[in-house]
Chain A
Amino acid sequence: MSLLFHSRTLLPGAILTFIFAGAAIVSLFWVPYDTTVLDIANKIKSPSWAHPFGTDQFGRDILSMIMVGARTSIAVALVAVGIGMLAGVPLGLAAAARKGGLLDEVIMRMNDLVFAFPSLLIAVMITAVFGASALNAIIAIGIFNIPVFARLTRGAALSLWSRDYIMAARVAGKGPARISVEHILPNVANLLIVQGTIQFSLGILAEAGLSYVGLGAQPPVASWGRMLADSQTMISFAPHLALFPGLAILLTVLGLNLLGDGLRDVLDPKLRRARV
């Protein structure tokens, strides 16, 4: 735990992340009000003791909606990071192990190609073909994450491949696959964790954007982006409808970014060597 205090950003980042992850988990068991029940009599209420963040146009409690929405955001972003890592890291390791070879060339060219498709365009295409759903958002953001992790892994792995300890492992008769798993992967893991938090936060932003334009989660699944879209026409007389979901996105992303920065400070081997 003492590691938490080595960086100024780690603790606030961890707290914010903990709050929103906690809200998402709690919402699985309990929310202040059931978000599937409409209560038209109580529509568009300003914040009060009964409804700390107010109610929406259908009388649903905004705090409860945000808690349930956290679930969607976090699930989409987390799975998308998982897709990116599971596909991207092995590709990056393989490309680095075969540097300059055909495999490397093919992987990197495919990376470049995917980079030309912002996740929004992928989502547009998938939606055009299959219709909108939260799954589209996951796939679109996940595909976009693959080259991010592939490039990062390849770049970091390449600098490690020139180290003498890799040569020593080769002298010990180890092949590229074994070396990648035993020597390269553990030494790029920190970098991947830090990038993972950053892609996580970008995923939350992207999910919100996709839901806002109707390419993400569909009703009745609650999502922060769609809450904002719904609030837009009412912003002049009920700004709180737009305020709280937006703040939720901002603070979650901020928390993850601070956490990522903090992890970088703590995990950076250069800094750690200086402390020893």
Chain B
Amino acid sequence: MLRYFLKRLLSLALSLLAASLVIFLALEVVPGDPAAYMLGLNAQEDTLNALREQLGLNGTILERYLSWAGSLLTGDFGISYTYRTPVSEMIGDRLWVSLPLALYALTLSTLIAFPAGIWAASRRGSYVDAGVMGVTQLGVAIPNFWFAMLMVLVFAINLRWFSAGGFAGWDAGFFAGMKSLTLPAVALALPQASILTRVMRSSLLDTLGEDFIRTARAKGLNKGQAMWRHALRNALIPVLTIMGLQFSFLLAGAIIIENVFYLPGLGRLVFQAISARDLIVVESVVMLLVFAVIVVNFAVDLAYAWVDPRLRGRR
């Protein structure tokens, strides 16, 4: 178990290193000098130099990478070119919208998908199964931002149950905050829940065809017992894989959905930064999101070991 954990941990570190290199190099090729951009046309050469020094723009490419990566480790993302404030503060504020949104959506999609997938699998070939599969077929095909717009039209503009956009802020109380995240979370969760339902169903059906299910039935378990006690945990292994992959879609989707609802999250931040050509903010947000994806996949790897004794190694 420890060996598996250490191995995964090493692979996590290597992935983060590689990802940071890719992101750094990708934004290195940008033409132009951020310092000149920030100070305008009439800047003095020595003020420019001072600013470059402050922004960590001097030195060889390796030095710059090391200083950037080094400060990332301490939580220092640098200073915004346009706002002249620490990027970490800007990200910190927005994270309190984006992260709860992603978790809310993940929770919703899991809460929908597990029961729906199990239900459909246990009634294979019935109207229940056909119905669930039909709905998920639509859920997979619907663009989530369009679904979000339709929900705004129905629930905000016509029924007035929710506000059409904006974020109440956590200061207004937990429930007010959650309420303004509800429509976005539902929009995000729908396609994910549909995919997850389909994966859950097919994985469960595959597992129900395994020899050990027949063994369990020969012991005297009925169909339901065989499914709950033997099939479910085995079926969970591919489901976990998909959930891990989905997290990256969830983050990407959140960036788009925040736009529909004018939520002050990382998505809005990144688009403002692109139009202002505030590259350090873009770089930082991308790095943070990639970091999140890699860490989640690490967690999924650990979850495998929890589910599957074969990965824990011999004692």
Contacts and interface: CB of A to CB of B under 8 A. Distances in A.
A and B touch in the complex (CB under 8 A): yes
Interface string B149-167: 1101100010000000000
Interface string A203-234: 00100110011100000000001001001100
A232 B260 contact: yes
Interface in A244-276: 245-246, 249-251, 253-254, 257-258
Contact of A128 (B19, B149, B157, B274): B274
A205 B192 CA distance: 13
A109 B297 CA distance: 13
B23 interface: yes
A233 to B, nearest CB: 11
B54 interface: no
B146 A213 contact: no
Given A116-B290, A118-B293, A242-B149, A213 B19 contact: no
A271 to B, nearest CB: 15
A171 B270 CA distance: 57
Contact of A239 (B26, B153, B294): B153
Interface in B233-248: 245, 248
A121 B252 contact: yes
A121 B286 contact: yes
B5 to A, nearest CB: 18
Contacts of B274: 124, 127-128
B279 to A, nearest CB: 6
Contacts of A249: 143, 146
A86 interface: no
Interface string A107-132: 00100110111111100110111000
Interface residues of B, number: 49
A35 B140 CA distance: 30
Interface residues of A, number: 39
Nearest to A246: B146
Contacts of B27: 125, 128-129
B137 interface: yes
A201 interface: yes
Interface of A: 109, 112-113, 115-121, 124-125, 127-129, 201, 205, 208-209, 212-214, 225, 228, 231-232, 235-236, 239, 242, 245-246, 249-251, 253-254, 257-258
8 contacts: A116-B19, A116-B294, A118-B289, A125-B282, A128-B274, A209-B143, A213-B259, A253-B143
Given A232-B149, A246-B150, 14 more contacts: A119-B252, A125-B27, A125-B286, A128-B27, A128-B279, A213-B255, A235-B149, A236-B157, A242-B149, A249-B146, A253-B141, A253-B143, A254-B137, A254-B138
